[in-house]
Structure 1
Amino acid sequence: MRLTDFWTRMEQVFGPGYAASIATDQVLSQLNGRTVGQAIADGEETVVVWRAVCAAYPDRVPARLR
């Protein structure tokens, strides 16, 4: 998954402002205690980060975007 696709999905699911907030403020256990932003900065593949977001917010992410 390209980084632009990742951010498009984040904004579709959470809206632009909230997506940015989740990326910087929410620590996800699926990312070994890192935020989305930290995981991406550490070089984690965006598909792995997206799957972590889907797991952390199963009620928010529609099936078509999983």
Structure 2
Amino acid sequence: MRRSEFDRAVRDEFGAGAGGLIVDLVLASLGSRTAAQALDGGVPPRDVWLALCEEMDVPAERRYGAGRLEPKRG
């Protein structure tokens, strides 16, 4: 997962509150850091996304493949 895919997945899943969520919510599974701190510290976006999903009880079917653009039709 790229950072752009992470950003898209968070925005799609959490809507308008997404920005505040990644800077305010402390995730114990990431060393008691926020998602933003973990990303800045080099934690891969996929790991941060999954930790955020776990904390926010996002159903498993919405966790994997999130943030990817639909393939171009041609």
TM-score range, shorter chain: 0.7 to 0.9
Q: Which of 61, 64, 72 is equivalent to 1:63?
A: 61
RMSD: 1.4
TM-score if structure 1 supplies the norm length?
0.86
- The equivalent residue for 1:12 is 12
- Does structure 2 retain, via aligned residues, the 8 Å contact 1:13–1:61? no
Indicate conservation of the 8 Å contact 1:6/1:50, yes or no: yes
Taking every aligned residue pair, what percent have the same amino acid on both sides?
31
Aligned length: 64
Runs of 4+ in 1 over 4 A off after TM superposition: none
More contact order relative to length (CA 8 Å, sep ≥ 6): 2
TM-score by length of 2: 0.78
Give the number of the structure whose alpha-carbon radius of gyration is greater: 2
In structure 2, the residue corresponding to 1:20 is in which secondary structure? helix
